[in-house]
Amino acid sequence: MARETWNHFFTKKGSEHMMSNQRLLAVLLMAMLLVGVVAGCGGTQESAGDTQGSSQDQQVKDPIIIGTIFPLSGPLALNGKDTFDGVEIARQIINERGGIEGREVKFVSADAPDPTAATQEADRLIQEKKVQIIIGTQSSSLSLAASAVAERNKVFYWEVEGIADGITGRGFKYIFRPTFSAQMMATQMLNFVEKVVAPELGKDPKDLKVILVHEDSGFGTSTAKNIEAQVSNYSFQLMDSQSYSAKSAELSSLVLSLKAKNPDVLLAASYVNDAILLARTSKELGFKPPVTIGTTAGHGTPDFVKALGEDAAGIFAAGILSSVSPAKMKPEFKALFDEVTKRYKEKYNGKEPSVNVYNGFSGAWLLLHDVLPRAQNIDAEGVREAALELDLPEGSTLMGYGVKFAGPDQENAGQNTSAFAAVMQWQDGKLVPVFPDILAQKNPVIQE
């Protein structure tokens, strides 16, 4: 207190000013809080309700009700909406073709911006709407949450997009994933090294010097584990495996130690920021391995190419396909591809569909077109058995892969073992699919 009187005594500006400042500060803070609250509210609104699109008539048979859970609001909404649009287009086309054995397909759609909402919505769909089949969810965290509820209630859960290993790694009976898993992304990186990189570099895979670097949080560590666990199936070995913190501002030491080892291939499980810093520091210190293969979580992102510009050229990224080309599709899928593109563009004034739209369509189409008609009863058990019996060769889906689900007694129960990730390369500022053949739009460019 004494100090305050001192201040008051010696300086012109007294405590009145201080008060008004504090009030101003309080008002400012309140305003900020309010902005925060308002912004937060937007994300949690429920946008559920039947999407009863068709007013056509009245089939005698009951409709098939399927629940959908996607992030339609909040930070994941951009991709979530696209995926859901693809799923919805599949439903429309199936219904226009007469439904499934005469039964119309209806969706009860739920919005799940975060895992808590995903849990609640899954619960609501199952308890209130009595759905037996759920399609989800775009994001792995949402999928992990929602599918746990489905499993508890013995409801069939069809995951069209989340790639976390945990989704099919929990020994669940009712989860099925037509798309690839993170583990299969690691497989594809290794396949690419053995089948493409080694011959292109003119080396026996045995002599190939391959080094793995990974950031040390969940993503990088699990990817690294997947790579390390599978590399024994290949004829090359990992020369070294190094972890680093994605939050570190200093990667010079890592780059210098890599440079000293002079690898032919650098595998990098990085996030965006560290992928950029790694590439920049490598250039500063004159480290340029002939082949760098990152993932679509880091080296394959738009932020990466914006930061690196021309220096990104030639770098590979494994993961989710960057763009879909109908060139190598069967005629039936070519027609569907055009139809999806047309419908999406009509809905959004000519905007080109993203990969998520096709991926959502591909997954939903497989369920509605190939699984459900094979089911004896359209309930969780019946659909589950039909899915397990499915055995389709490569090229049987819009996204190119075949279908064969792992059974309940196998590892990764419910995972489509015929799915695969893509490998892309930055060419002329675009991320072009180059591997495997069925997805490739251009040849990989590899220079010594």
Q: Which of 51, 141, 230, 273 binds other proteins (CB under 8 A)?
A: 273
- Our finding on whether 221 is near other proteins (CB under 8 A) is no
Find the binder of other proteins among 38, 39, 41, 327 (CB under 8 A). 39
If one asks whether residue 41 binds other proteins (CB under 8 A), the answer comes out as no
Identify which range of 18-26, 133-141, 192-200, 338-346 contacts other proteins by CB under 8 A: 18-26
Identify which of residues 51 and 273 has a Cβ nearer to other proteins in the complex.
Answer: 273
Q: Which span (21-29, 49-57, 128-136, 141-149) binds other proteins, by CB under 8 A?
A: 21-29
Q: Binding to other proteins by residue 52, rule CB under 8 A?
A: no
18 interacts with other proteins by CB under 8 A: yes
Could you tell me the smallest distance in angstroms from the CB atom of residue 243 to other proteins? 5
22 belongs to the binding site for other proteins (CB under 8 A): yes
Q: How many residues bind other proteins (CB under 8 A)?
A: 48
Residue 31 engages other proteins in binding (rule: CB under 8 A): no
Q: Which of 96, 207, 284, 389 binds other proteins (CB under 8 A)?
A: 284
Q: Is 306 or 374 the residue whose CB approaches other proteins more closely?
A: 306
Q: Does 262 contact other proteins by CB under 8 A?
A: no
Contact call for residue 225 and other proteins (CB under 8 A) = no
Q: Which of 401, 355, 415 is nearest to 147 (CA)?
A: 415
Pick between residue 66 and residue 312 the one whose CB is nearest to other proteins: 312
**Interaction residues for other proteins, span 100-119 (CB under 8 A):** none
Q: Which stretch binds other proteins (CB under 8 A): 106-114, 169-177, 253-261, 348-356?
A: 253-261
SS3 letters across the chain: CHHHHHHHHHCCCCHHHHHHHHHHHHHHHHHHHHHHHHHHHHHHCCCCEECCCCCCCCCCCCCEEEEEEECCCCCCHHHHHHHHHHHHHHHHHHHHCCCECCECEEEEEEECCCHHHHHHHHHHHHHCCCCCEEEECCCHHHHHHHHHHHHHCCCEEEECCCCCHHHCCCCCCCEEECCCCHHHHHHHHHHHHHHHHHHHHCCCHHHCCEEEEEECCHHHHHHHHHHHHHHHHCCCCEEEEEEECCCCCCCHHHHHHHHHHCCCEEEEECCHHHHHHHHHHHHHCCCCCCEEEEECCCCCCHHHHHHHHHHHCCCEEEECCCCCCHHHCCHHHHHHHHHHHHHHHHHCCCCCCCHHHHHHHHHHHHHHHHHHHHCCCCCHHHHHHHHHHCCECCCCCCCCCCECECCCCCCCCCEECCCCCEEEEEECCEEEEEECCCCCCCCCCCCC
CB of 302 to other proteins, least distance (A): 9
Binding residues for other proteins restricted to 295-314, rule: CB under 8 A:
303, 306-309, 311
Nearer to other proteins, 38 or 327 (CB): 38
| Minimum distance of other proteins from residue 98's CB (angstroms) | 44
Binding residues for other proteins, per CB under 8 A? Answer: 3-4, 6-7, 10-11, 13, 18, 21-22, 24-25, 29, 32, 35-36, 39, 216, 242-245, 247-254, 256-257, 260, 272-273, 276-277, 280, 283-286, 303, 306-309, 311
